[in-house]
Amino acid sequence: MTTKSLTSMAAAAEAASPSSSLLRRLVAVDTALSLRVHSLFLPVPRSLLKALEVSGDGRFWFPVVLALLPLSSSVAFSLLLGLLLGSLLDLLLVGLLKHLVRRPRPVYNKGMSLAFALDHWSFPSGHSSRVFFIASFLHLSSASLRRWIRGGGGAGDGAELVVRLVFLWSAATSASRVLLGRHFVFDVLAGACLGVVEALITFRSMRRIFGVVL
C-alpha cells in the first residue's frame, strides 16, 4: 500500500471521528443515565413493573384484537382494524431497526423471556413504540371512539378520558422498560417517537387506501 493511500485513509478516519466520537458520548451518557434511573427506582414493586410489561406485550395485544374483530360493530371494527394494521407495521419497523442497530440490552437486565431472536437487541423499545402507537392512534381517532362510546350508551366526553388514561398507561409502561432494566432511556424515547409516527401513517392510510374515515 502506497504512502498516498495510507494518508488518504488516515484523513478519512480523522474526518469521520467527530461523528463517531459524538455517538460514543451519547451512548455513554445514555448508559450512565439509564443505570442511575434503574438504581433509584429499585424500591418500586417488580410485580407492578411486570404487569405493565405484560400489558404492553404484542403476544397479549394481537390475540385480543383478533378475537374482538369479528364481534365488533362497524365503528369498533374500523378502530380495531387500524390497531391491528398499525401493530403489524410496528412489528416490522421495530424488527428492522433492531436488526440494523444491534444494540445489546443493559447488562443488568434479568429474568426476561425472549420471544424472538431479535429480542436480544435493545434499540428501539418495542413496548414503547407499541403503546405510544395505540395511544396516538386512539387520539387521532377520537371522533370514532366517541361514536363508539355513545353507541354503547356512554357519555361522549368518555372518549377524552379513555385517551388520557391510555396515554398515562403508555407513559408508565415505557418507563417500566428502564426501571426493569430491559432498555436504555434513549431506546424508550426512540420507541415512543416511532409509535407516534406509526399512528400518523396508519391513520392516514386508513383514509386514503381503505377509504375508512375515523
Residue tagged 396508519 (cell numbers): 202
- Selected catalytic residue, list 38, 99, 120, 183: 183
Q: State how far the Cα of 202 lies from the Cα of 86, in Å rounded to an integer.
A: 6
129, 162, 130, 131: which is closest to 145 by C-alpha? 162
- Selected catalytic residue, list 38, 99, 127, 139: 127
Sign of CA dihedral 184, 188, 189, 190: positive
CB count within 10 Å of CB 158 equals 15
CA torsion 14→16→18→24, rounded to 10°? -120
Burial class (CB in 10 A: 0-12, 13-18, 19+), 103: middle
Our answer to whether residue 127 is catalytic in this structure is yes
**Which grid cell is 127?**
413496548
Catalytic residues: 127, 183
